[in-house]
Structure 1
Amino acid sequence: MTFQLHHTTIAADTPGASTVLYWYTAGPEDAATRVHLQAALHADEQPGTMALHHLLPRLRDADVADRLKAHFTIYPSVNPLGLANFSMRHHIGRYDIETGVNYNRRWPDLYPQVADAIAGKLTADGAENIATIRRAAIDWIDSQQPRTAIQQLRLHVLRSAAAADIVLDLHCDDDSLKHIFTSPELMPGLQDLADWMGLAATLTAEDSGGGSFDEVLPTLYRNMRLANPSHPIPNGAETATLEYRGRADSFDHIGQQDAAGLFGFFAGRGLIDAEAGSKPAPAPAPTPFEATEVLRADAPGLLAYRVELGDKVIKGQPIADLIAMHGPEAFMSRRPILAGTDGFILSRVMGKYVTRGASIAKIVGTEVLQARAGAYLLED
């Protein structure tokens, strides 16, 4: 049996303080395929942690029965620093309260760090080239000297991911249908993941603009291919951000469903020698993230939604009314906020008091929006 709990202590940035990161491993260390799973990088997003809570016993039992054909590394709550970020009884788990930086932004661009190290070492064998690039990335990570707690955490997690063939980062939205973000070259390869999750949408982008965790490895291999066109460099890692509905959706019955979907995905890939379960219905085909409108409020006020999650809408249709909270008709007048594209409602916000510029909904369309092409795509 290889199923094992591990922990490491992360020294905090203030005297006498530290925190502990826990993770599990399961499956043969020398397996041909390595899987990295993590949840709650945004520490205030718990549905992914609930899903892994229910997946872990299934992996343990499969491990005891010698049915795991891949090596799994699982971080059920990958950001203990963010778990500690409370202010006035409010959990600020999305941002580092010292710097204000989103925990899922500004992950390193590995290509310029390792390009020189692989120069002259690539061959005509794609698998060899992936191994060479991985070694260079891990060597660079190992050479770093973290100065802060968040740097310690990031380097530890990134080292695990850099060695993996499948890297899944479990998140959630505010109030949302299930969806994933991934790189376009990884589709349709990850369509089976989309199917097993029962997604409403798969949104793809090469660069969403924020340096998100799930883009680190695809960006590395993509840039290696561009810089070395005479050498075969396959996709070295299938990575995706899995958005498990909204923050309020941490319930046992939902977590069990989500764990079953992950188990079915891995079993369907032959990474667990077990019945995958009933074949899921096909999920929608991927769409460019640039075709999704992030609808924002142009003034402060109180939202009154006119639509539900999943509703189909057309351009110009009222999505919500914004009730005025200042001015001559304060708390009396209201005006509509209109959809800027045809599509369906993927997400809304739970807090209905909004400030100017706040994101209030995402509308998934099919046509790339001119204002989104080449722009920063995230909400933040």
Structure 2
Amino acid sequence: MTHFIEKIELKTATPGVRRFLKVHRFKSKKPGPKVYLHAGLHADEWPGLLTLQHLITRLISLDEQELLAGEIVIVPFANPIGMDQRLNGSVIGRYSFSGEGNFNRNWPDLTPAAQACLLKNPKASVEDVRQALREAVAELPTHTPLCHLRAILLSLSIDADIILDLHCDSQALLHIYGHHLQSEQSELLAKHLACPIVLLEDEVGASPFDASHVTPWLALAKYSIPLSCFSVTIELRGFADVNDHLAAQDAEGILSFLASNAITTAEITQQPPVKTRVTRLEGVDTISAAVCGIICWKIALGDQVDKGQLIAEIADIEADNPLEGRTPIYSKTQGVLFTTTLARLVTTGEIIAKIAGPEPLENTHGGSLLML
């Protein structure tokens, strides 16, 4: 057996409070890639938490049968800080109460360490670069609980070949965010997950967790160093899509993808095929509410829409005549409605929907995930 569990104590700012991470490691004697997965970095996004429970169960069984290769590192809950942030009974898990911002923004850019490695030794190998990244992570500041948490997570993940960061949207279809230079791997992952939407970015903005891993390798392209880390964000549908059926299905899809990367030799049940739409992020119509009011949808999640089609109306609850107090919302592209807001009372400027379309749109700001 290669499975062992580690408990890592985290820095705390409050007397009497202790936090920790639990880490599941499967490290086989058989050579193979290193894979890192975690869930709940945005601590109010829970589908991935249950998916990893099912995946760990499957991996324990495969490990007992000696059917694993390489190394698999799983952090089943990546953000104890955010999970502890409750207000009036609700978890407020996207932003830190400490004032340090969004938990999935402004992760360290380790590009200088990777470049310094190549400048010092132009013949440096992929492993040399990984060692330089490990050393850079070891020097990261840990003066706040959040800084310490980030440094710990990066120490577990920075040298992985494959990184899967599990999130969810408000209400959504299963979808994947990846870099356009890794489109083939992203589409393969989508195939195994039966994922209908893949969104490819051409620039990395605001430094989310997944980008912190791939950005150094992108910067080394001019040195002919291969892009040696496949790092993506998987959006496991919406907030409410937390159940054993979906979690087991997604865990099996992830396991099937790992099998395609020679991490297990087990026979994995294939998901029924789905048609996957691959869209550059600049082709996503990100729709904001023009006014405040009650949103009334005219189409459903997953529907195909045409450019200029009426997709919703916002009812003005201050209107003297309700029949005249409706503001129409139209699609700017032809495509698939893949996310909608869970809220029904919306505020002016709030993002209420996203449509994956084929053509770049003038109303977007480049091809970065964080510009959506």
2: CA distance, partners of 1:311 / 1:172: 19
Q: Map 1:194-209 to 2 at 5 A.
A: 194-209=190-205
Amino acid at match of 2:316: A
**1:108 corresponds to 2:104:** no
Q: What secondary structure is seen at the aligned counterpart in 1 of 2:5?
A: strand
Q: Map 1:55-204 to 2 at 5 A.
A: 55-99=55-99, 101-123=101-123, 129-204=125-200
CA drift of 1:304 comes to: 0.7
The 4+ residue runs of structure 1 with deviation greater than 6 A are none
Q: Map 1:330-369 to 2 at 5 A.
A: 333-369=325-361
CA drift of 1:351 comes to: 1.1
Amino acid at match of 2:215: T
CA drift of 1:279 comes to: 6.5
CA drift of 1:376 comes to: 5.8
Q: What is the TM-score normalised by the length of structure 1?
A: 0.92
Amino acid at match of 2:150: R
CA drift of 1:30 comes to: 7.2
CA drift of 1:320 comes to: 1.0
2: CA distance, partners of 1:101 / 1:260: 34
CA drift of 1:283 comes to: 4.4
2: CA distance, partners of 1:140 / 1:30: 28
Q: Which consecutive unaligned segments of at least 5 residues does structure 1 have?
A: none
CA drift of 1:377 comes to: 4.4
Q: What is the TM-score normalised by the length of structure 2?
A: 0.94
Find the partner of 1:210 among 206, 216, 235. 206
1: CA distance, partners of 2:87 / 2:210: 29
Aligned residue number for residue 14 of structure 2: 14
1: CA distance, partners of 2:274 / 2:225: 30
Verify the 8 A CA contact 1:178 1:199 in the aligned structure 2. yes
Verify the 8 A CA contact 1:299 1:356 in the aligned structure 2. yes
CA drift of 1:370 comes to: 2.1
**Inter-CA distance 49–362: structure 2 relative to 1 (3 Å threshold):** same
Q: What secondary structure is seen at the aligned counterpart in 2 of 1:48?
A: helix
**1:260 corresponds to 2:252:** yes
Q: What secondary structure is seen at the aligned counterpart in 2 of 1:245?
A: strand
Aligned residue number for residue 49 of structure 2: 49
Q: What secondary structure is seen at the aligned counterpart in 1 of 2:101?
A: coil
CA drift of 1:285 comes to: 5.1
2: CA distance, partners of 1:60 / 1:331: 60
Verify the 8 A CA contact 2:186 2:198 in the aligned structure 1. no
2: CA distance, partners of 1:158 / 1:41: 13
Verify the 8 A CA contact 2:201 2:367 in the aligned structure 1. no
Q: What secondary structure is seen at the aligned counterpart in 1 of 2:132?
A: helix
Deviations 1:171-217 (A, max 9, x none): 11111101100011111133221101111111011335221111122
Aligned residue number for residue 32 of structure 1: 32
Identity %: 31
RMSD over equivalenced CA pairs, Å: 2.0
Verify the 8 A CA contact 2:205 2:371 in the aligned structure 1. no
Verify the 8 A CA contact 2:114 2:216 in the aligned structure 1. no
Verify the 8 A CA contact 1:191 1:283 in the aligned structure 2. no
**Inter-CA distance 283–153: structure 2 relative to 1 (3 Å threshold):** farther
Residues matched between the structures, number: 372
Amino acid at match of 2:362: Q
2: CA distance, partners of 1:24 / 1:332: 58
CA drift of 1:70 comes to: 1.9
Amino acid at match of 2:53: H
